[in-house]
Protein backbone atom coordinates (compact mmCIF):
# COMPACT_ATOMS: atom_id res chain seq x y z
CA UNK A 1 0.00 0.00 0.00
CA UNK A 2 1.06 3.58 -0.55
CA UNK A 3 0.76 6.56 1.77
CA UNK A 4 1.78 10.16 1.17
CA UNK A 5 4.11 11.60 3.79
CA UNK A 6 4.09 15.38 4.10
CA UNK A 7 7.05 17.20 5.61
CA UNK A 8 7.27 20.83 6.67
CA UNK A 9 9.76 23.46 7.77
CA UNK A 10 12.92 21.98 9.32
CA UNK A 11 11.79 18.41 8.60
CA UNK A 12 11.34 19.14 4.89
CA UNK A 13 14.81 20.66 4.80
CA UNK A 14 16.32 17.66 6.58
CA UNK A 15 14.85 15.14 4.14
CA UNK A 16 15.18 17.37 1.11
CA UNK A 17 11.51 17.02 0.18
CA UNK A 18 8.12 18.16 1.37
CA UNK A 19 6.19 15.20 -0.05
CA UNK A 20 7.15 11.54 -0.32
CA UNK A 21 5.16 8.57 -1.57
CA UNK A 22 5.95 5.59 0.67
CA UNK A 23 5.19 1.96 -0.12
CA UNK A 24 4.58 -0.01 3.06
CA UNK A 25 3.33 -3.44 4.09
CA UNK A 26 -0.23 -3.84 5.40
CA UNK A 27 -1.06 -3.46 9.12
CA UNK A 28 0.89 -0.25 9.24
CA UNK A 29 0.74 2.36 12.00
CA UNK A 30 1.82 5.95 12.29
CA UNK A 31 4.91 4.71 14.11
CA UNK A 32 5.91 2.55 11.10
CA UNK A 33 5.65 5.57 8.80
CA UNK A 34 7.82 7.64 11.13
CA UNK A 35 10.36 4.81 11.42
CA UNK A 36 10.56 4.55 7.63
CA UNK A 37 11.18 8.28 7.29
CA UNK A 38 13.80 8.25 10.04
CA UNK A 39 15.71 5.53 8.19
CA UNK A 40 15.97 7.70 5.07
CA UNK A 41 18.91 10.02 4.35
CA UNK A 42 18.50 13.09 6.57
CA UNK A 43 15.73 11.36 8.53
CA UNK A 44 17.73 11.04 11.72
CA UNK A 45 16.85 14.63 12.59
CA UNK A 46 13.21 13.62 13.00
CA UNK A 47 12.36 12.78 16.61
CA UNK A 48 11.30 9.19 17.35
CA UNK A 49 7.81 10.36 18.31
CA UNK A 50 6.98 13.56 16.43
CA UNK A 51 3.54 15.08 16.24
CA UNK A 52 1.68 13.46 13.36
CA UNK A 53 -1.58 14.24 11.61
CA UNK A 54 -3.36 11.66 9.49
CA UNK A 55 -5.66 13.21 6.91
CA UNK A 56 -5.31 16.57 8.70
CA UNK A 57 -6.27 15.32 12.18
CA UNK A 58 -3.72 14.83 14.95
CA UNK A 59 -3.08 11.12 15.51
CA UNK A 60 -1.22 8.99 18.03
CA UNK A 61 1.64 6.62 17.18
CA UNK A 62 -0.52 3.49 17.29
CA UNK A 63 -3.12 4.73 14.85
CA UNK A 64 -3.44 2.55 11.76
CA UNK A 65 -2.85 4.05 8.36
CA UNK A 66 -4.39 2.73 5.18
CA UNK A 67 -3.52 3.12 1.54
CA UNK A 68 -4.07 6.65 0.30
CA UNK A 69 -3.73 8.27 3.72
CA UNK A 70 -1.94 11.59 4.00
CA UNK A 71 0.48 11.37 6.92
CA UNK A 72 1.90 14.73 7.93
CA UNK A 73 4.91 14.95 10.22
CA UNK A 74 4.43 18.15 12.19
CA UNK A 75 7.52 19.99 13.46
CA UNK A 76 7.18 22.05 16.66
CA UNK A 77 4.53 24.60 15.74
CA UNK A 78 5.30 28.32 15.93
CA UNK A 79 2.16 30.15 14.87
CA UNK A 80 0.99 33.46 16.21
CA UNK B 1 -23.40 34.62 16.72
CA UNK B 2 -20.85 34.87 13.96
CA UNK B 3 -17.49 33.15 13.72
CA UNK B 4 -15.04 33.54 10.85
CA UNK B 5 -11.44 32.44 10.50
CA UNK B 6 -8.95 32.62 7.67
CA UNK B 7 -5.35 31.88 6.78
CA UNK B 8 -4.35 34.72 4.48
CA UNK B 9 -1.42 35.77 2.30
CA UNK B 10 -2.14 39.50 2.43
CA UNK B 11 -1.91 42.25 5.00
CA UNK B 12 -4.48 41.93 7.80
CA UNK B 13 -6.94 44.81 7.85
CA UNK B 14 -7.46 45.34 11.59
CA UNK B 15 -10.11 48.03 11.14
CA UNK B 16 -12.14 45.71 8.95
CA UNK B 17 -12.02 43.02 11.62
CA UNK B 18 -13.22 45.46 14.27
CA UNK B 19 -16.11 46.51 12.04
CA UNK B 20 -16.95 42.89 11.41
CA UNK B 21 -17.47 42.13 15.12
CA UNK B 22 -19.12 45.48 15.86
CA UNK B 23 -22.59 45.10 17.36
CA UNK B 24 -24.48 47.31 19.81
CA UNK B 25 -25.62 44.21 21.71
CA UNK B 26 -22.10 43.79 23.06
CA UNK B 27 -20.40 45.84 25.71
CA UNK B 28 -16.86 44.64 25.09
CA UNK B 29 -14.59 44.06 22.13
CA UNK B 30 -11.07 42.71 22.61
CA UNK B 31 -8.59 42.65 19.76
CA UNK B 32 -5.30 40.81 19.98
CA UNK B 33 -2.54 41.50 17.46
CA UNK B 34 0.61 39.47 17.10
CA UNK B 35 3.35 41.19 15.15
CA UNK B 36 6.95 40.71 14.13
CA UNK B 37 9.29 41.70 16.96
CA UNK B 38 12.71 43.25 16.44
CA UNK B 39 14.60 41.13 18.98
CA UNK B 40 14.35 37.41 19.69
CA UNK B 41 16.70 35.52 22.00
CA UNK B 42 19.20 38.35 21.78
CA UNK B 43 19.30 38.40 17.97
CA UNK B 44 18.17 41.31 15.83
CA UNK B 45 15.37 40.21 13.54
CA UNK B 46 14.91 41.53 10.00
CA UNK B 47 11.72 39.62 9.14
CA UNK B 48 9.84 36.35 9.40
CA UNK B 49 8.70 33.92 6.71
CA UNK B 50 5.53 32.12 7.83
CA UNK B 51 4.58 28.79 6.27
CA UNK B 52 1.80 26.32 7.07
CA UNK B 53 0.18 22.99 6.45
CA UNK B 54 -2.43 25.10 4.74
CA UNK B 55 -5.59 23.00 4.69
CA UNK B 56 -5.05 21.67 8.19
CA UNK B 57 -4.26 25.13 9.52
CA UNK B 58 -7.57 26.37 8.09
CA UNK B 59 -9.40 23.52 9.78
CA UNK B 60 -7.63 23.87 13.13
CA UNK B 61 -8.14 27.61 13.32
CA UNK B 62 -11.83 27.14 12.55
CA UNK B 63 -12.04 24.43 15.22
CA UNK B 64 -10.32 26.64 17.81
CA UNK B 65 -12.76 29.46 17.07
CA UNK B 66 -15.78 27.18 17.30
CA UNK B 67 -14.60 25.73 20.63
CA UNK B 68 -14.01 29.24 21.91
CA UNK B 69 -17.42 30.53 20.84
CA UNK B 70 -19.18 27.57 22.43
CA UNK B 71 -17.20 27.68 25.66
CA UNK B 72 -17.31 31.41 26.34
CA UNK B 73 -20.61 32.28 24.72
CA UNK B 74 -18.85 34.68 22.39
CA UNK B 75 -21.14 36.80 20.24
CA UNK B 76 -18.74 37.47 17.38
CA UNK B 77 -15.24 36.18 16.71
CA UNK B 78 -12.95 36.80 13.76
CA UNK B 79 -9.39 35.47 13.55
CA UNK B 80 -6.93 35.78 10.68
CA UNK B 81 -3.39 34.41 10.50
CA UNK B 82 -1.07 35.66 7.81
CA UNK B 83 1.50 33.61 5.86
CA UNK B 84 4.41 34.62 3.68
CA UNK B 85 7.23 37.11 4.18
CA UNK B 86 6.50 39.63 6.96
CA UNK B 87 8.56 42.64 7.92
CA UNK B 88 9.14 44.12 11.37
CA UNK B 89 5.88 45.34 12.85
CA UNK B 90 3.68 43.50 10.35
CA UNK B 91 0.63 41.88 11.94
CA UNK B 92 0.91 38.09 11.76
CA UNK B 93 -2.30 37.28 13.62
CA UNK B 94 -5.37 39.26 14.62
CA UNK B 95 -8.15 38.00 16.86
CA UNK B 96 -11.25 40.14 17.42
CA UNK B 97 -13.79 39.01 20.00
CA UNK B 98 -17.06 40.70 20.95
CA UNK B 99 -19.04 39.71 24.04
CA UNK B 100 -21.65 41.39 26.20
CA UNK B 101 -19.08 41.51 29.05
CA UNK B 102 -15.36 42.25 29.23
CA UNK B 103 -14.23 39.33 31.40
CA UNK B 104 -15.41 36.74 28.90
CA UNK B 105 -14.11 38.79 25.97
CA UNK B 106 -10.60 38.81 27.47
CA UNK B 107 -10.71 35.12 28.35
CA UNK B 108 -11.96 34.15 24.91
CA UNK B 109 -9.24 36.16 23.18
CA UNK B 110 -6.59 34.54 25.37
CA UNK B 111 -8.00 31.10 24.67
CA UNK B 112 -7.68 31.55 20.90
CA UNK B 113 -4.07 32.75 20.90
CA UNK B 114 -2.95 30.07 23.38
CA UNK B 115 -4.56 27.31 21.32
CA UNK B 116 -3.01 28.77 18.15
CA UNK B 117 0.40 28.59 19.84
CA UNK B 118 -0.25 25.02 20.92
CA UNK B 119 -1.73 23.37 17.86
CA UNK B 120 -1.92 25.45 14.67
CA UNK B 121 0.42 23.83 12.10
CA UNK B 122 2.29 26.99 11.20
CA UNK B 123 6.04 27.56 11.24
CA UNK B 124 8.23 30.60 11.09
CA UNK B 125 11.69 31.06 9.74
CA UNK B 126 13.21 34.12 11.32
CA UNK B 127 15.68 36.18 9.32
CA UNK B 128 18.34 38.22 11.12
CA UNK B 129 20.13 41.40 10.19
CA UNK B 130 23.42 39.48 9.95
CA UNK B 131 21.98 37.56 6.98
CA UNK B 132 21.37 34.26 8.80
CA UNK B 133 18.02 32.62 9.46
CA UNK B 134 16.60 29.95 11.77
CA UNK B 135 13.41 28.03 12.38
CA UNK B 136 11.71 29.32 15.52
CA UNK B 137 10.89 26.85 18.29
CA UNK B 138 12.85 24.07 16.59
CA UNK B 139 13.53 22.59 20.05
CA UNK B 140 9.79 22.53 20.56
CA UNK B 141 9.26 22.16 24.28
CA UNK B 142 5.49 22.49 24.02
CA UNK B 143 5.64 20.13 21.06
CA UNK B 144 7.43 17.43 23.03
CA UNK B 145 4.84 17.64 25.79
CA UNK B 146 2.06 17.33 23.28
CA UNK B 147 3.66 14.34 21.56
CA UNK B 148 4.06 12.63 24.94
CA UNK B 149 0.39 13.16 25.68
CA UNK B 150 -0.37 11.18 22.55
CA UNK B 151 1.88 8.16 23.18
The alpha carbon dihedral of A80, B4, B7, B11 has a sign of negative
| Largest distance between two CA atoms of chain A | 39
The gap from C-alpha B63 to its chain's centroid, in whole angstroms, comes to 13
Q: What's residue B139's pLDDT?
A: 67
The whole-model pTM stands at 0.92
Q: Which residue from A minimizes the CA distance to B138?
A: A76
Which of B136, B139, B147 is closest, CB to CB, to A51?
Answer: B147
pLDDT tens, residue by residue, A18-70:
999 999 998 999 999 999 999 999 999 999 999 999 999 999 999 999 999 99
The number of C-beta contacts closer than 8 angstroms across A and B is 93
Q: Which residue from B minimizes the CA distance to A30?
A: B151
* d(CA B19, nearest CA chain A) in Å: 22
- Domains observed in chain B: 2-149 (3.90.1170.40)
User: Cβ separation of A58 and B113 shorter than 8 Å?
Assistant: no
CA distances from B89 to A70, B92, B102, B134 (A): 36, 9, 27, 19
Which of B53, B57, B150 is closest, CB to CB, to A6?
Answer: B53
Q: What's residue B140's pLDDT?
A: 66
- Domains observed in chain A: 2-74 (3.10.20.30)
Q: What's residue B138's pLDDT?
A: 72
Tell me: ipTM over 0.90: yes
User: How would you write the pLDDT of chain B (151 residues) with one tens digit per residue?
Assistant: 899 999 999 999 999 999 999 999 999 999 999 999 999 989 999 999 999 999 999 999 999 999 999 999 999 999 999 999 999 999 999 999 999 999 999 999 999 999 999 999 999 999 999 999 999 987 665 555 566 666 5
- Whole-angstrom Cα distance, residue B60 to residue A51? 15
Would you say B60 and B81 are in contact if contact means Cβ atoms under 8 Å apart?
Answer: no
Which of B57, B137, B151 is closest, CB to CB, to A78?
Answer: B137
Q: What's residue B137's pLDDT?
A: 83
Amino acid sequence: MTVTALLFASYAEALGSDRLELTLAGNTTVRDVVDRLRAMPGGSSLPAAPLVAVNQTYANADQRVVSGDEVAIIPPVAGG
Amino acid sequence: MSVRTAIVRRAIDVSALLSEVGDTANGATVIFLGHVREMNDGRTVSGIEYSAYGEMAERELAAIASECAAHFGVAHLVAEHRLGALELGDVSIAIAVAHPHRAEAYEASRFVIEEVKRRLPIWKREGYVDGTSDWVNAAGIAHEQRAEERQ
